[in-house]
Amino acid sequence: MPTAEKYCFKPRTTMYHRFSEINEINESNKIKVRILRIWYAKQVYTRETPSLDLFLVDENENLLHATIDKYLIDNYI
């Protein structure tokens, strides 16, 4: 008779990388972060929004400043 363990679904685990483990060779880096601060950068004179800026923090409390260009903002927000 089959046991119940055979039919139990195991939770899918996703491997997340820390900021210190990210490299440009591997394009499939996944990170798990908290957004500490987010704001739209504005040009002083034209009031144009060239980018969206973020402070991100990972599980080891490493801080990273990220910038999303205005042409890519709609892809991430």
Per-residue pLDDT tens for 10-19?
555 678 888 8
Length of the chain: 77
Q: How far apart are CA 74 and CA 52, in angstroms?
A: 10
> To 5 degrees, how large is the angle CA 34–CA 39–CA 44?
155
Query: Domain-by-domain residue ranges, the chain?
Result: 33-75
State pTM to two decimals: 0.67
Q: What is the pLDDT along the chain (77 residues), one digit of tens a residue?
A: 455 455 555 555 678 888 888 877 877 778 889 999 999 998 888 888 899 999 999 888 999 999 999 999 888 87
